Amino acid sequence: MLSVDTPEWEDTFAPQGWFSGAGPQRSAVPYAFLIGPDGTFGIAGADDGQWIPLHRSIDGWVEALALAYAAMDVADTVTRLTGSAVGQLDLTAMQPVAEVGGITNGRWYQPGLLAAVYSDESELFARSAYRTAYLYAGNIDEQWL
């Protein structure tokens, strides 16, 4: 659920500016979902109150969620990778899915395969083991991207 809250001035994040809460967390997590002063969607928190932009816009975040649900429905297999295995992914033959506007989290496509890479919590907590990727394989077609 996206429910924007009253903007608050943040001078501890880079960039400084007005940030708006982007709704309540659905589970206990040590960070908040925020909309940055430039319209980016991201998370902020951890011990140092760091800001990590995830998508270039709220629309990108919504596109990423919709794409994840659609991929789950049509994929024949879904493989989850974590930590150093994510760093070994070769995405060079794939094209980025522009609609998600990925910054820290992104999606890449090639016929038959969609890769979703999540580096948000990894960057927020400086823990490379938190990096996660999902590979959706099978009936993945550019028509529904």
Per-residue pLDDT of the chain (145 residues; tens, 9 = 90+): 455 666 677 777 777 887 777 666 666 778 888 889 999 999 988 777 789 999 999 899 989 988 998 999 989 999 999 999 999 999 999 999 999 999 999 999 999 999 999 999 999 999 999 999 999 999 887 776 6
What's the pLDDT score for residue 18? 78
What's the pLDDT score for residue 43? 92
What's the pLDDT score for residue 4? 60
Say how far apart CA 104 and CA 90 lie, in whole Å: 17
Spatial CA neighbour of 35 closest among 53, 49, 48: 53
What's the pLDDT score for residue 11? 76
Say how far apart CA 75 and CA 84 lie, in whole Å: 24
What's the pLDDT score for residue 3? 57
CB 108 within 8 A of CB 95: yes
Domain boundaries, the chain: 8-55, 58-144
What's the pLDDT score for residue 144? 64
Give the number of C-alpha atoms closer than 13 A to the C-alpha of residue 83, restricted to the C-beta side: 2
